[in-house]
Structure formats: structure tokens, C-alpha cells
Structure 1
């Protein structure tokens, strides 16, 4: 039995993938990722030349362009190695390898800047440079998925795999270890089973996710038959003496032996292993969208906000006039809401309610056929036009285009305030709030009238924060456009 991509297979003790004579552990995947990147750089040369010849066809000096490409490639690999990008290229679905696109952008910018500083830019063809860089970026992006597909085939054929036994059959501990491996989403893992020599403390019937295979003798026998690659010791209270005994019993067979940190199996919080110098630490919580990602997010927000204001200016002006001439009061509605770091911000909206019936605190939810909403307000709320002034909030730096929606300070779900009703609610304020968000395109746009919906919205918000990428932002933006047209539950 072999695991599908992103899942962990749980075969029986003797039911393991077929192992051909030439077989590798997961360590080879790092090399495959580096080779995939190298192939992209090498293949981009002839592909870019063909594209340039077909579209432009002007003569250029091939040798100096090749030299520049080699320098950019060296910079690229130095950046990748400095970020330790090849240590776990498929961790959490392959995000580490997808970072190659950004790394090559940085590498190419460094080369172009150097050429410009040396006054040699006129000797290069800008068309060739553009064609090559775009081709490399496209190939790097596609290679992420090609690599996962190739590894999945190699795993299925039995050429790559990491067959693991968890030693420590205590129900709670073993289940926690299995969950940690499951969260890692490593397609090459297969769990052979759990083992423990303390038979009086083993609940054999309790291990539905992985079979109990016995004590160390059984593990040694499986390893001797070539059916186990690694033993993970999951004994949080283990002593040095007991650890030495286990190592001595397993010394006669060729397997990897690792000790899961006590905190890994006892803490329920999701964590990452980080090093401060040479000291290993468990990062329980980290600032999201940081460093280069923070700069990219800021450029994305300001750029899209400016383009949105320019492109939508006729609609903004028409909406403002419609509000002005159909009901007395200001055009804009200003409401205090929670922003980044839980700091209150003033969010701008087109006014959609009668002035004397509006609620600046947000304590009263808007319901279907709400008599507080003006005729124009019903239209602009239905199409989310009332949210467009928040583009100015984005330019001001209070908000992002995509992020968790900001909630009014007194917004309630049921009879309780949002921040009291939903555990972990405040974690959504670790990033700037957005005009649209993942929860909104997953069916949670508009009124949230139950605790369950509120919790689901917060779950989506936290998932977005932990898995942010430019690609995810643009996908949400595209999906938002469809939701505005087709969503009938907004009023």
C-alpha cells in the first residue's frame, strides 16, 4: 500500500510497498528538487531564444547573454542554499519549493542591477533578458507540480519511500505522533505500525490508525526483511538509560532512529522547529507575512488599490451621486473596526442606510429586507459596491486587498461579542484586515448568525494567515468577482 499525495498510508505490519533492488529514502528528494531547478535554468535558454526569434528576431550577442544567465543561475542557487530551501522541499504541500520563483526574481534583479551599474546595459538585448527571465519563472512554477507528480510515481513504484515504525504505543502519544506526521503532508511516508515492549500498557484495539506490531524484536525482524526504514521513538518521559537500551536492541539492523521531542507529542499547539544559532527551539507562534513576503504584500496592496481606484473611478463617482440625490446625509459611512494587532481603525464604506437608522457600533446585524437600508443601499450592498471606498483604506495602510474581514468593535454573533464567542478569534488580527478574504469566497460572505458559522469563518481566516502566498491572494480576488455576481445570500 502506498500513500497518495498529501496523505499517510497505514498498511499492516507485513503489507508494505514493493521494494525494488534500487530504492532510496526521502533524503534523495532534496537532490531531485535541486536537479529540477537546474533543468529549468538549462531548458530556459533554448526556449527563450526560440520565443525571441519568433516574436522579434533581431540579432544579439549570444555569449554575453549566456554569461549573464550563468551568473544569475549561480546567484539563484546561492539564495536557495542560504534559505535552506532544499532541506525539505515537499514539506506542507511543497511551499518551500514554490519559493524558487521569488528567489530567481531576486537573483535576476541583482544581475541586471550589476550590469546597469557597470554601464553595460546597452550591450544587452532587453527582449532576450525579458524572454529568458519570464521563461525561467514559468518553468520554475510548473516544475513544482511536475516534481510532486514525479515523486508520487516513484513512490508508487517503490523507488522512494520512508516506511516508519512509531515506538511508543501509548494511545494518546502514538495518536499525537501520527497527527504530526499527517499535518506534514509528506507523500513518501507510510506508517508500518506502532511498537512497544511494555505489553501490559498497550491498548491493541485502540490503534485504529496504525496496527500494533509488537516489541523491539518485531521491529528488528521487519527491518531485517527490509520492510522498515526508520524508527521514531515517541516516549516523552524516556530516560537516557532506557534510550540506550532501545538503541542497543536496534543496533543490529540498518534503520534510521529518531527521537521525537517531548514537546512535540505533549503540546497540542502547531509548531515549527527553528534554530537560534545552534540551539533548537520550537516556534509555537510566528509573525506571519514577514520580511520579503511583507514587502511583496505591501506592493501588491498599494498597486492593486491604485489600479482599482483609477479603473473604478466612474463607478465610484456614479455611486456617490446616487447616494447624494436619493437620501439625505453623507456619502460615506465611517465605522470603527478592529485592525492589525487588534488596533481600532476607521473603515470607509458608501452609506447604504438611512442616517437616523444606522448603527456605527455594529452591534445590530443587518438582516434580509432590513428597513434601515435605502433602495440604493440594497443594490450596492448586493454587489459589494459599498465596500469599494476601502481601497483608500488600503492606500492609507490600514487594510489589505485580501485578508480577514475587519469586524465592528461591538459586532455580535448570537448573544455574545465575536471576540468572546469564538476561541482564538484574536489570532486573525496578526495581519491587516482585507476588503475580501478566504472566508468570503468559501460561502461565509454576508450575515453570520450562528456560532458555528463564526467559528468556521475564523478557521478560514487563520488558514489564510498561515498559508499566505501571492497565488492565493490572486485566486481569492478572482473568486470574489464570481461571488459578487452569483452569491444570493448577501443583503
Structure 2
């Protein structure tokens, strides 16, 4: 949800800043009245898309704005380079003020970076207060789970709350207590537990080499509406950097994402409301005719409630 809101805020911030600079230097829609706003909106949208592609909307990126200074600058400069190339190719570069876009480049970047600094403080505070807490369970016990738990707990401003461990093994390979966390049951029992305890994430601690075992677990767990991650911190096999997601600096392979996650819930709610209203409007003549027919045929009310026994 934080990432989705920040996307909207940054787009609005860049767009409104560009418009204000245009109004200040050129005047209130005095020159290229619709071309300037369109170009500013396109550049703002492109910047947000490029920030998303370069993983600048990850929580880790929010918490380390200074480390991502170069990436932010490169994305913002790349946005202007693409816009300049487009204007040159369409033979429109002479129509636009270099002063307007030069000022927007400087002011826009300062605002984006300032917003990131502010978000970093807010997210760190929310993490300390537990507002951004994600409830997780570890699937698979033993030494691999212990190493994973220690690695996650060492992360600064960790937002993962480990609720326990689930493993089908009951021998020495999977002791009842691992790194201070109890083994709560088997993988079959995990499905019911995850629904009751409102688990957000399952982290599978098995190595990638245990392919058969991992596939068996996933066949059972994919029915849960949670994020499923495969721990990759101790695997010798390495993938391309974009194949990983991270909990702090601990690499994970994304196996499943919950069907409705973060900003998708807002979009679904808006979709439900809009199309419900449209449906009521479209079918209102039919419902009105039905109500009239009921009233003509019966003396009782059209709308009523009935006790159930």
C-alpha cells in the first residue's frame, strides 16, 4: 500500500511542479496551451514507470535514500533524455523552453529526493512501532531455518514477525525449537493456521537442490492467499539480480504472490463500487417494473425481512 500511494504522490508532485514552473515562466496557458501539460504529464508518468522498473519503490529503497541517490538521479535524467530524444525525432524541440524543463529537472529531483528522505524517517518509525509488520512462518526446520531466522533478525528495522515453524520431519533434522521459535506443527496443519492467524508470508527454508520436496510443499501451500518466498541466502546457485526480492538484505525467490496485494485491494474496491452503481442504474427499470408487479399482485410490502428458523 505504501508503494502504491507513493507512486501517486510522486506523479502528482512532479506534474504539479512542472505546471507551476510552466505558468511562472511562460504564463497561464499563453503558449502551447495543451502541449506543455501533455508533455509534463507524459514525463511524470514515464519517471514513475522507470522508478518502478528500477526497484525504487521497494521498501528497502525507501529506507536507504542516500544509497539510492545515484539511481534516482539516473532515472530522472533518463526520463528527460527520452523526452528530449522524442521531441528531436518529432521536430518539436525548438517549440519548448529549455529554461522551463531545466528548472523542472533541478526542482523535481530535489522534491523527489526530499520526499524519499521524509519517507525513510516515516517508514523507520512505522517499523519500530510495528505498523508495517508482516506476519510470517518458516516452512522447514533444522540448521537452514536457524541460519535464515538469524539473518532476518539481524536486519535493521525488520518488519517481519516470525510466528513459528512448520515441518513434517520429527527427527533430529528438525528439533522442536529452532533459534528460539517453536515448531507448531506439520505442513498440513499450516494451512489452517495461516487462515486463522492471518499470516502474510510463508518462507520456505529448504535448499533449491531439494526440488522434489519443494514441489510437494508448494502443491499443498498454493491454495493460501499469501506471499510464498523461497529462501536463497545459503544457495550456491545464483540467478540474475532482478530474480530476487529482499527482506532487508536477505535474498528471496518469489514463488507466489497473494492474488490481491497492496494497491490491488484499493483498485478492486473501486471496481466493485463503480460497477455496482452502474448495475443498479442499468437494471433499475427492471427492478422498478418488478416492484410494481408485486404491489399490484399482493397487498404486502415490496421490501420485507423474514425471520429464519
Q: Give yes or no for contact 1:101–1:137 (8 Å, CA) kept in 2.
A: yes
Structure 2 vs 1, CA of residues 231 and 127 (structure 1 numbering), >3 Å: closer, same or farther? same
Counterpart for residue 140 of structure 1:
112
CA distance in 2, matches of 1:69, 1:162: 37
Map 1:252-263; keep pairs closer than 5 Å.
253-261=224-232
Equivalent residue in structure 1 for 2:97, among 121, 125, 136: 125
Counterpart for residue 297 of structure 1:
none
> Whose RCO is larger (CA < 8 A, sep 6+)?
2
Q: Does the residue aligned with 1:200 lie in a helix, a strand or coil?
A: coil
Matched, 1:265 2:234: yes
Q: Does the residue aligned with 2:111 lie in a helix, a strand or coil?
A: helix
Counterpart for residue 175 of structure 1:
146
Gaps of 5+ in 2: 245-309
Counterpart for residue 284 of structure 1:
none
Gaps of 5+ in 1: 1-27, 282-491
Deviation by residue 1:362-414 (Cα, 9 ceiling, x = unmatched): xxxxxxxxxxxxxxxxxxxxxxxxxxxxxxxxxxxxxxxxxxxxxxxxxxxxx
Deviation by residue 1:20-51 (Cα, 9 ceiling, x = unmatched): xxxxxxxx45434432431332232355357x
Structure 2 vs 1, CA of residues 112 and 246 (structure 1 numbering), >3 Å: closer, same or farther? closer
Return the offset for 1:107: 1.5
Counterpart for residue 182 of structure 2:
212
Q: CA RMSD in A?
A: 4.2
Return the offset for 1:131: 2.4
Deviation by residue 1:281-314 (Cα, 9 ceiling, x = unmatched): 9xxxxxxxxxxxxxxxxxxxxxxxxxxxxxxxxx
Equivalent residue in structure 1 for 2:31, among 61, 79, 91: 61
Equivalent residue in structure 2 for 1:104, among 62, 67, 76: 76
Q: Does the residue aligned with 2:240 lie in a helix, a strand or coil?
A: strand
Return the offset for 1:139: 1.6
Return the offset for 1:94: 4.4
Decide which structure has the larger Cα Rg and report it: 1
TM-score normalized by the length of structure 2:
0.58
Deviation by residue 1:52-84 (Cα, 9 ceiling, x = unmatched): 46xx98996262432332332344345445x44
Map 1:311-326; keep pairs closer than 5 Å.
none
Q: Does the residue aligned with 2:55 lie in a helix, a strand or coil?
A: coil
Q: Give yes or no for contact 2:203–2:228 (8 Å, CA) kept in 1.
A: yes
TM-score normalized by the length of structure 1:
0.39
